[in-house]
Amino acid sequence: MHYLIASPHNGKFLVARPGARAGMQISRAMYEQVASIAETSSPLPPWLLDGARTAWSLDLAGASMRDAVLVRPETWLGYGRATYEINKGCNFNCEHCYLAERKFDGLPWDSKARLLRLLRDAGVLWLQFTGGEPLIDRDFLDTYTLAYRSGMLIEILTNGSRLHRLEVIELLRKLPPHKVTVSLYGATPDSFDSLTRKPGAFKLVKKGLIAAREAGITLELALIITKHNAHELAAMRSLADRYGAGRTEYGTISPTYTGTPEPLAAQAPGFLDKTSVFKGCPAGHTFFHVDPHGLATMCKVGRENPVDLMSEGLDGLLRLPRIADAQMLRTGGCGGCQLSGTCRVCRPLAKAYQEAKAPLNTYCQHGSEEAQ
């Protein structure tokens, strides 16, 4: 199994080590050198041996290129990143969930494997597994393994409820992910179980956090702040610091991506973060989202005119940039707005808020004007 991946990425070239944050940016000439000896018994070039020692304290002297470095080829599509919603099904039923429906369905294993090969051939280096809850998909372990062996750097976005399982811990130890992000929905069984509407959820997730820490698996914690847990934010932070290497806080709750308002009821007053101006997003151009059936869209929220990767293959992705631009340029209910240059939300998200008839102050600057 490879120790390093050498790959093109967004017009540049890099060497990465699965499971490690540090990476090396290399020149085209260096990339072409390793590409020319990929899959051979040649030793690694001296600059790569030195780089591996410096970046990862990794001594690969004596190793062959074939055994140590997986070289990803240049591709005609420049998609370096993708998110894969392997299954919308979930064992929790969170009040704030942005999925309107969480059906347990998706591709059979053969088609999942074909989809992963398509993602690889589209150039995807960074792959995020999401759901629903990805770890409850029956093919998750095999799908993860194939993505890893294809030379992808993997993030798993999980609710943590299956993290304690031995087969999961062993897989993550053997084939280290780039990142595992666990959503934290509270610091006590009361708040956690009431937001997830799943008795025993807190206990289950805590078991997973402990198992991952004992196995030396690095976690990031995503603190989801809602009306159920805002009063225990300090305790959530210390829980995250105990089990995670990093934490991020999310206090703004969005409608479902289909534009229904149910999740908004979980919003904690005072935690709406609409401070930063939306400055553009390369969704559909350098990254894309794939749903459980292999339908590719610009992102998780902007899901109009999906491209059926399973029937159209990679050629279908050539249409995605224009599909994304159409969603980004649509003004919808915002036509003629004088404040559009300082808007806080992107167009696909604004559309979901408008369809959900969300209170203006939850997403729009005119909401604060009205309040004044």
Residues of this chain that bind ligand SF4 (CB under 6 A):
90, 92-94, 97, 99, 131-133, 159, 281, 283, 299, 301-302, 346, 348-349
Least distance to ligand SF4 from the beta carbon of 124, Å? 16
- The radius of gyration of the chain's CA atoms, rounded to the nearest angstrom, is 22
CB 72 within 8 A of CB 125: yes
Q: How far apart are CA 23 and CA 14, in angstroms?
A: 7
Q: Is 52 helix (H, G, I), strand (E, B) or coil?
A: helix
Least distance to ligand SF4 from the beta carbon of 334, Å? 14
Between 131 and 255, CB nearer to ligand SF4: 131
Least distance to ligand SF4 from the beta carbon of 223, Å? 13
**Token output for 345:** 């939300």
Q: How far apart are CA 56 and CA 16, in angstroms?
A: 10
Least distance to ligand SF4 from the beta carbon of 98, Å? 7
Between 31 and 185, CB nearer to ligand SF4: 185
Between 131 and 244, CB nearer to ligand SF4: 131
Between 56 and 79, CB nearer to ligand SF4: 79
DSSP labels for 205-230?
A: HHHHHHHHHHTT--EEEEEE--TTTG
CA distance between the termini of the chain = 61
Least distance to ligand SF4 from the beta carbon of 335, Å? 19
Between 116 and 283, CB nearer to ligand SF4: 283
Least distance to ligand SF4 from the beta carbon of 211, Å? 18
Closest CA to 108 of 279, 282, 293: 293
| Residue whose pair of structure tokens reads 């993708």 in the numeric block | 82
DSSP labels for 93-132?
A: --TT-S-S--------HHHHHHHHHHHHHTT--EEEEEES
Between 264 and 346, CB nearer to ligand SF4: 346
**Token output for 213:** 């820490």
Between 4 and 266, CB nearer to ligand SF4: 266
Between 17 and 289, CB nearer to ligand SF4: 289
Least distance to ligand SF4 from the beta carbon of 280, Å? 9
Closest CA to 144 of 183, 104, 175: 175
Pairing of strands 246-250, 219-224: parallel
Least distance to ligand SF4 from the beta carbon of 126, Å? 14
